[in-house]
Structure 1
């Protein structure tokens, strides 16, 4: 499955491209990865804003 927003393939822990049978499963995983990425960006922005 490819995250078209980030342009990256969703991969499992072994590095293989993730495959899903159900759309709901794929969307749930995409949403989880996207949310984690956004949360990490917010943490990074907050860290930088404290120093500026």
Structure 2
């Protein structure tokens, strides 16, 4: 017997429908972009606070 002869196909397999796969991917991308913007804003705020704390006001 070969491996090809032992393979059985699953007739109950349901592939992804085009309608179901488009919307979740769009939502995930939108969520990831929103998270990235929040992280960027927090990092920018932290950088500005650090620069302000280190600024020499006695110029």
The normalised TM-score by structure 2 is 0.50
- Larger relative contact order, structure 1 or 2 (CA cutoff 8 Å, min sep 6): 1
Partner of 2:41: 46
CA RMSD of aligned residues (A): 1.3
The normalised TM-score by structure 1 is 0.56
Instruction: Number of aligned residue pairs: give it.
Output: 33
Residues in 1 aligned to 2:21 and 2:39: alpha-carbon distance in whole angstroms = 27
Higher radius of gyration, 1 or 2: 2
Structure with more strand by fraction? 1
Unaligned runs of 5+ in 2: 1-14, 48-59
SS at match of 2:26: helix
Structure with more helix by fraction? 2
List structure 1 runs of 4+ shifted beyond 3 angstroms: none
5 Å-filtered alignment, 1:13-32, equals: 20=16, 22-32=17-27
